[in-house]
């Protein structure tokens, strides 16, 4: 396949409600989209880097810069999806930028061949069970109302964002209000230290599925030490930057469960390798999210249909974040599942009017 060039497009999508985590509050999702133009088809990539480097070191302006100056020029005209990562390997880091480029090229290749992401990745399910990530709120009544609303919509698992000062009380309130049957987990986004181990053990009585990334992303041994004090299974998100990092964390007993986010690990192909490593070790995985538009959501839902994804992911419907998506929206079925797209490539395409309504700028990079 011959690559002609790549369009970088900045969009700004207003959120239906502010989304607060331990690292900040989002009201608008700024996204960098890529459109890879080849002689056979066009493909779309979505970069999950956020406006500020608060979740990881990456941020959207840096992703655009590294793509424009280094990554796109390094591709060469003749390529396929699997050739992207090796061509970019000598550039350190910038996994979210690399993932977006690989996604766009892979999408072009699969659209041209009439194959879906799901089939290409090895999906074995036609639909996937969905959870929802619930931000930090100003009060417990407000939280209970939000959780009640999501349960009424059919979400099968609730994830509460936590931080020091918003942990045991909201978890207790949600557990007591909605019962022992509900699948419930928490995500700290690195907000604690090993000195908080005894405090985090106070979450044990609430039968959480997992606690996600309590400590710093580099603190693998700290998570292993914490795992010896808390009974709730530890799941890593930020720390898992590659299949090798996943294998190391598992070997060091730093996690019992892994959150897989393709952007964080450099692409869907590396995400599949993490899935394979985890399956080989008997470690359950689930698909994380980064407030994706319908493009990234389509690919995530395909990934989540692989056999090792045995826990519901943060693969919510489009309406969780956006009143209007840039593709046909993903809508939760009554049973709390999303249908895995089966069309060529991502199986969804941006709607021209919706896309132009949120576009801030475009830039064409010739290869």
Q: Which residues are part of the catalytic machinery?
A: 161, 261
Question: What is the full DSSP assignment across 302-339?
Answer: HHTTSTTB-S-BS---GGGT-SS-SSSPP---TTSEEE
DSSP character at residue 233: P
Tell me if 214 contacts ligand OSB by CB under 6 A: no
Residue 246: CA atoms inside 13 Å, Cβ hemisphere, count?
Answer: 28
Q: Which of 23/70 has CB closer to ligand OSB?
A: 23
Nearest residue (beta carbon) to ligand OSB:
289
Helical (H) or strand (E) element with 80: none
Q: Which of 58/120 has CB closer to ligand OSB?
A: 58
Question: What is the full DSSP assignment across 89-144?
Answer: TTS-S-HHHHHHHHHHHHHHHHHHHT-BHHHHHT---SEEEBEEEE---SSHHHHH
Tell me if 237 contacts Mg ion by CB under 5 A: yes
Q: Which of 109/270 has CB closer to ligand OSB?
A: 270
Tell me if 237 contacts ligand OSB by CB under 6 A: yes
Of 310, 304, 239, 249, the residue nearest 271 (C-alpha): 304
Contact positions with ligand OSB (CB under 6 A) in 47-76: 55
Cα 274 from Cα 285, distance rounded (Å): 9
Taking the complex as a whole, the smallest distance from the CB of residue 230 to Mg ion amounts, in Å, to 17
Taking the complex as a whole, the smallest distance from the CB of residue 127 to Mg ion amounts, in Å, to 23
Contact positions with ligand OSB (CB under 6 A) in 189-208: 189
Taking the complex as a whole, the smallest distance from the CB of residue 292 to ligand OSB amounts, in Å, to 6
Cα 225 from Cα 244, distance rounded (Å): 20
Q: Which of 317/350 has CB closer to ligand OSB?
A: 317
Nearest residue (beta carbon) to Mg ion:
237
Q: Which of 111/157 has CB closer to ligand OSB?
A: 157
Contact positions with ligand OSB (CB under 6 A) in 170-189: 187, 189
Question: What is the full DSSP assignment across 136-202?
Answer: --SSHHHHHHHHHHHHHHT-SEEEEE-BTTBSHHHHHHHHHHH-TTSEEEEE-TT---GGGHHHHGG
Taking the complex as a whole, the smallest distance from the CB of residue 56 to ligand OSB amounts, in Å, to 9
CB atoms within 10 A of CB 129: 22
Taking the complex as a whole, the smallest distance from the CB of residue 61 to ligand OSB amounts, in Å, to 17
Helical (H) or strand (E) element with 65: helix 60-66
Q: Which of Mg ion, ligand OSB, none lies near 236, with the C-beta cut-off 5 to 8 A by kind?
A: none
Tell me if 46 contacts ligand OSB by CB under 6 A: no
Taking the complex as a whole, the smallest distance from the CB of residue 140 to Mg ion amounts, in Å, to 22
Tell me if 187 contacts Mg ion by CB under 5 A: yes
Six-digit token pair at 48?
A: 């999950």
Q: Which residue has the tokens 């890593």?
A: 236
CB 150 within 8 Å of CB 134 = yes
Q: Which of ligand OSB, Mg ion, none lies near 289, with the C-beta cut-off 5 to 8 A by kind?
A: ligand OSB
By rule CB under 6 A, what string of x and - marks binding of each residue 283-302 to ligand OSB?
Answer: -----xxxx-----------
Tell me if 314 contacts ligand OSB by CB under 6 A: yes
Q: Which of 316/327 has CB closer to ligand OSB?
A: 316
Q: Which residues contact 38 (CB under 8 A, 6 or more apart)?
A: 1, 2, 3, 4, 105, 108, 109, 112
Chain residues that interact with ligand OSB, rule: CB under 6 A: 55, 133, 187, 189, 237, 288-291, 314, 316
Chain residues that interact with Mg ion, rule: CB under 5 A: 187, 212, 237
């Amino acid at each position: 396949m011959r690559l002609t060039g790549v369009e970088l497009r900045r969009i700004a999508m207003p959120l239906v409600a502010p989304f607060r985590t331990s690292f900040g509050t989002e009201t608008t999702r700024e996204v960098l989209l890529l459109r890879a133009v080849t002689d056979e088809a066009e493909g779309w990539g979505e970069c999950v880097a956020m406006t500020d480097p608060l979740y990881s070191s990456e941020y959207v302006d840096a992703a655009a810069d590294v793509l424009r100056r280094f990554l796109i020029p390094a591709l060469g005209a003749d390529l396929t999806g699997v050739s992207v990562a090796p061509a970019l390997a000598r550039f350190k880091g910038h996994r979210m930028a690399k993932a977006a480029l690989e996604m766009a090229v892979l999408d072009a290749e699969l659209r041209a061949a009439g194959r879906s992401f799901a089939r290409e990745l090895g999906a074995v399910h036609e639909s996937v069970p969905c959870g929802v990530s619930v931000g930090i709120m100003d009060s417990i009544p407000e939280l209970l109302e939000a959780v009640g609303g999501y349960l009424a919509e059919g979400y099968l698992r609730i994830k509460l964002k936590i931080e020091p000062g918003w942990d045991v009380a909201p978890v207790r309130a949600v557990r007591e209000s909605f019962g022992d049957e509900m699948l419930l987990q928490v995500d700290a986004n690195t907000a604690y230290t090993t000195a908080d181990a005894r405090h985090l053990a106070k979450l044990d009585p609430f039968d959480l599925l997992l606690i996600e990334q309590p400590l710093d992303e580099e603190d693998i041994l700290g998570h292993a030490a914490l795992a010896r004090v808390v009974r709730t299974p530890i799941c890593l998100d930020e720390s898992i930057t590659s299949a090798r990092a996943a294998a190391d964390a598992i070997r060091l007993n730093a996690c019992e469960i892994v959150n897989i986010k393709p952007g964080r690990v450099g692409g869907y192909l590396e995400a599949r390798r993490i899935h394979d490593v985890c399956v080989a070790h008997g470690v359950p995985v689930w698909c994380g999210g980064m407030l994706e538009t319908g493009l990234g959501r389509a690919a995530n839902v395909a990934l989540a249909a692989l056999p090792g994804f045995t826990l519901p992911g943060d693969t919510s419907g489009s309406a969780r974040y956006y009143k209007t998506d840039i593709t046909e929206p993903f809508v939760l079925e009554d049973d709390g599942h999303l249908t895995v797209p089966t069309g060529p490539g991502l199986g969804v395409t941006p709607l021209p009017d919706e896309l132009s309504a949120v576009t801030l700028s475009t830039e064409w990079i010739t290869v």
